[in-house]
Chains A and B, each alone.
Chain A
Amino acid sequence: MANRINRDQVQHVASLAKLEFTDAQLDAFTPQLDDIIGLFETLSEVDTDGVEATNNVSDQLNVMREDVADNWGQSQALLKNAPDAARGFIKVPAIIDESEDN
């Protein structure tokens, strides 16, 4: 294995992406990601000196519109899709880790 990315780096990227993996998953993912990054590195064969990056192929640029409220007042309908709700609000667990409370 060329070791373009190691297990620790995969763990680091996972934490950036708000994902977690078991040891067995890391064992499977690390060589797969390494192979795919190897495929990515074939791009170094292409001469891109002086080439502009393309981030967008739309023919629309800087489209402006009035900032008008539209289709509002649907909070009850929206809350139906929330995993947990109470008194018109989405309910989430405590932000402070309860295990740290003494």
Chain B
Amino acid sequence: MNYFKQDLASLHADLVAKKLSAKELTQATFDNIKATDPKIDAFLALNEDAALDQAAKVDAAGIKEDQPLAGIPVAIKDNIVTKDLTTTAASKILTNFNPIYDATVTTKLADAQMITVGKTNMDEFAMGGSTETSAFKQTKNAWDQTKVPGGSSGGSAAAVASGQVVAALGTDTGGSIRQPAAFNGVVGMKPTYGRVSRWGLIAFGSSLDQIGPLTRGVKDNATILSTIAGHDEHDLTSSTQAVPDFAKDLNDATSVKGLRIGLPKEFLAEGVDEDVKNAILAAADTYRKLGATVDEVSLPHNKYGVAAYYIIASSEASSNLQRFDGIRYGYRAQDVKNLEDVYVKSRSEGFGDEVKRRIMLGTFSLSAGFYDAYFLKAAKVRTVIINDFKAVLKDHDFIMGPVAPTPAFDLGAEIKDPITMYMNDILTIPVNLAGLPGLSLPAGFSNNLPVGMQLIGRPFDESTLYKAGYAFEQSTDFHLQVPTLGGQN
């Protein structure tokens, strides 16, 4: 089976009514993944035996009406640790790494009795925007297998878009949930910084990283976020703010009536594809028809986000990735004479080029003589960017715009040109710098490729984004369109 006509609620109803067992559902999911993954290459590892065992246990215990996720398969991005299930962050340096504990998010999904079916491909250590820096395989876009799936959560986005799973977890440091969601025509949420625990997330940029859900619809996304969010004593950046039941109030397409929406002129500026621009302008009209007002606003320092981000994220990465030293776990180079050799050769052989580039940029930006001019300057520009958002969100309920300047590009087209690849993140990066929630959802098509819209909210106000996303979904049919995978559907 695929999930093109199913959502969490309909699967749950079938499971409660015993039209379907969790084990049948899980087996059907693996059958479908095996049939479609040769085309998509979304998965790095499958968890078949353990998943089927767990599904049988869920069936034996019985699925009750107040267990909305029980027995439903989910896929996990491979930089989130899963106990006894190989976790590589798509890096050679973590080949065969088997975590001895579960991330908080996977523990929470397991507590809700979701079934982890496998680990999804990604850019190595989440560094990239096309999933092409993975050391292991190239994931393809669900809509056109000559196009990139976006990244870094390209495997999770393609798995949901191609009907392999109904939900997946991704991570977003500079757009890595929202951009692949947009490229594959699915819904992706980058929650507020602190909303979701990162305990068990292989760290990239610690002041930026968040875990969030990818799903086909807004309501499913809201259900998963409520399940994984909340304070965790293992991650002291996780917030103690109460977690609403985000899905509960999603039943009214008119809930955006009276809301004020800001549309930054910089988000439709030069470099943004004409079809993308038109999709966003049409979406603005949809919101106006639903009773919201849409004003042109300005985020004047938006264009500096990419430079500030690549200094800050690379600096944090160069520090976080020091732990990969060939000693305690992961890859160790063989031809070594002394301990220094273990470090240098293991890292040089274990990391791919993009990861090395980031480590080098970060080490440079933090090094003696350059710290003030680069790292400190970027941290100050970050404050300026945050203040731009604060000014707009003071009198607007949320901001709307595109997710990425273009739809999915050709495989191989940008991987050799780092700056072009980095500039793809120009509309998503500022949201991470400011720690705000950002929702990506389908808003149109350009030459049969999905176009995504991004909604950006106030801190911890994911509720408004989900309401606005749901209202848009009820007024459009973009989210109902599905890709054709060689006659699978």
Contact = CB atoms under 8 A, between A and B. Distances in A.
Interface string B323-343: 001111111100011110111
Contacts of A14: 360
Contacts of A45: 304
Interface in A66-102: 71, 74, 77-78, 80-84, 90, 92-99
Contact of A53 (B322, B365, B380): B380
Interface in A1-18: 5, 9-10, 13-14, 16-18
B109 interface: no
Given A19-B360, A29-B357, A48-B381, A96 B338 contact: yes
A43 interface: yes
Interface of A is mostly: loop
A29 B352 CA distance: 13
A97 B337 contact: yes
B377 A44 contact: yes
B90 to A, nearest CB: 17
B98 A60 contact: no
B239 A60 contact: yes
Contacts of B308: 43
A52 B383 contact: yes
A74 B364 CA distance: 38
Contacts of B344: 18-20
A83 B344 CA distance: 16
Given A14-B360, A95-B339, A98-B337, A57 B193 contact: yes
Contact of B360 (A17, A46, A97): A17
A87 B222 CA distance: 49
A83 B326 contact: yes
A78 B100 contact: yes
Interface size class, chain B: 35 or more
B337 A18 contact: no
A83 to B, nearest CB: 4
Given A48-B381, A60-B236, A92-B339, A20 B330 contact: no
Contacts of A44: 377
Given A74-B100, A80-B98, A48 B377 contact: yes
Q: Point out which of A13, A29, A84 has the most chain B C-beta atoms below 10 A from its C-beta.
A: A13
B459 A5 contact: no
A39 B240 CA distance: 38
Contacts of A53: 376, 379-380, 382-383
A54 B386 contact: yes
Contacts of B85: none
B348 A81 contact: no
A5 B348 CA distance: 21
B97 A81 contact: yes
A23 to B, nearest CB: 14
A39 B376 CA distance: 16
Interface string B299-336: 00100101110110000001000100111111110001
A33 B418 CA distance: 9
B464 interface: no
A42 B488 CA distance: 49
Contacts of B77: none
Contacts of B270: none
Interface in B234-263: 236-241
Given A17-B359, A60-B238, 7 more contacts: A33-B360, A40-B378, A42-B307, A51-B380, A57-B433, A93-B338, A98-B337
8 contacts: A5-B364, A19-B360, A39-B307, A43-B304, A59-B241, A60-B194, A83-B331, A83-B332
Interface of A: 5, 9-10, 13-14, 16-21, 29, 32-33, 35-37, 39-40, 42-46, 48, 51-60, 63, 65, 71, 74, 77-78, 80-84, 90, 92-99
Q: Which 5 interchain pairs have the tightest Cβ spacing?
A: A57-B435, A53-B379, A83-B332, A81-B329, A48-B380
